[in-house]
Amino acid sequence: MQPVVVESHIIESLEESVRISDYGGSHLLMTPSRNSFKKAIRAKRVLLNGELADSSRMVKKGDIIEILLSEEVYPEHKIKIEVIYEDEYMAIVNKPAGLLTSGNQHRTLANALSTNLSESKEKARLPRPNPVHRLDRSASGLLIIAKTMLAQQDLSSQLAAYTVDKTYRVISHGLAEKTGTVDLPIKEKSAQTQYKLIKTIPSNKYGGFSILDVNIKQGRKNQIRVHLHSLGHTVVGDLLYPRENPGKGLYLHCYALTLNHPKSGEKMTFEMDLPKKFKDFLN
């Protein structure tokens, strides 16, 4: 079987060349830490501009880093995951708050997919279903899963081109303006966040709250949390910027997304209800 590329990353901005082992990790979904990225290099799962990379290789702006599918057998994490949509090529699932999307751990959503999704009947199916993007551990909501090599490549390309629309419902501290845009780099990479005010909740004790619909373009790590905090509207329950939390957990949920089907090209929109804790907060 040909090696399967499960993630492709183009270096958009880099002021000076650095070792690939220093650049990787936080920039890639499938290897979210420096150690996991180095492990992937040692396992010959990292390509730099189409060639196997080693830790000493230097990278620069415009280089392409690819992660190959691991042949390692991961133990299944047997928990129930809500499936919003599924066919032979892809699936949309609801990631619960508190669960890692993927990584070098047993308790991840990636390790729970095989027991919650049916095996694809396509010849070019992946050995196991694979998330094509991630949500922060403490966030919840819709996540896109590839079941075939075609879907993996096409969906990854859509995400890289910023053509997948994702809408998050957020409860934040403070009374926000009706609409707003934050254009603030994260780790020297461009990032833009737009929000729309749905409702304000006055509170003498806590200073008030805002219910927001948020859309992001690039999807940098912690982008929504960092950008809203920069406006003084920290997400309720955000442990990056701790404030008194009258609820439970992080109030950040991806409830809608639009993409093109990786096989047919059909435009598809998915929406789901908000978690119970959002409704409890409002009550």
Query: Residues 94, 22: contact at Cβ < 8 Å?
Result: no
Tokens matching residue 166 = 């994702």
Q: Is the dihedral of CA 38, 221, 71, 263 positive or negative?
A: negative
- Output phi, psi for 153, to 5 deg: -70, -45
d(CA 212, CA 192): 16
Tokens matching residue 170 = 């957020």
**Of 22, 63, 87, 136, which is the active-site residue?**
136
Active site (annotated) includes residue 87? no
Query: Residues 255, 261: contact at Cβ < 8 Å?
Result: no
Question: What amino acid occupies position 237?
Answer: G
Tokens matching residue 97 = 């708050």
d(CA 145, CA 114): 11
170, with CB counted inside 10 A (0-12, 13-18, 19+), is buried
Active site residues: 136
